Amino acid sequence: MIFGLVQILLFQSLGELVSKFLLPTLPGPVIGLVLLVLWLVLRKGINSDLAMVGDGFSQYLGLLFVPAAVGVVLFLPQLKANALAIISALIGSVILTIASSAFVARLLSKKESHE
């Protein structure tokens, strides 16, 4: 189990180093996760220690939502005061995301059909 935790911390540290010196716009934990996934693909499997640590972490993933919920309750008056702007921004961003995704998918499908 310790070896699995060391692996996770090692890849997170590598991600932080890459983020600090090479890709400052990407968060270190995201880079570390990508490096870990690439490592696992190259190894063609997950060892038992890493699987045990991953299972242990996934049991408590719900706790990560507690700070977000506390933040919502803490800023509820501001959220209520700006509800129209927040809802408009959310709806607008969803519509723009769907439209741009459809546009890119259409462009890519036309490109593939011509080849």
Examine the domain organization and report whether 26 and 74 are in the same domain: no
pLDDT given for residue 70 in this prediction = 87
| Full-model pTM | 0.57
User: For residue 50, how far is the Cα from the chain centroid?
Assistant: 20
pLDDT given for residue 55 in this prediction = 87
Examine the domain organization and report whether 4 and 47 are in the same domain: yes
Our CA angle for 29, 45, 30, nearest 5°, is 10
- Which residue ranges in the chain fall short of pLDDT 50? none
Can you give the residue range of the structural domain that contains 79? 65-115
The 10s digit of each residue's pLDDT in 74-103 is: 999 999 999 999 999 999 999 999 999 999
**Six token digits for residue 57:** 């972490």
Examine the domain organization and report whether 17 and 51 are in the same domain: yes
pLDDT given for residue 114 in this prediction = 62
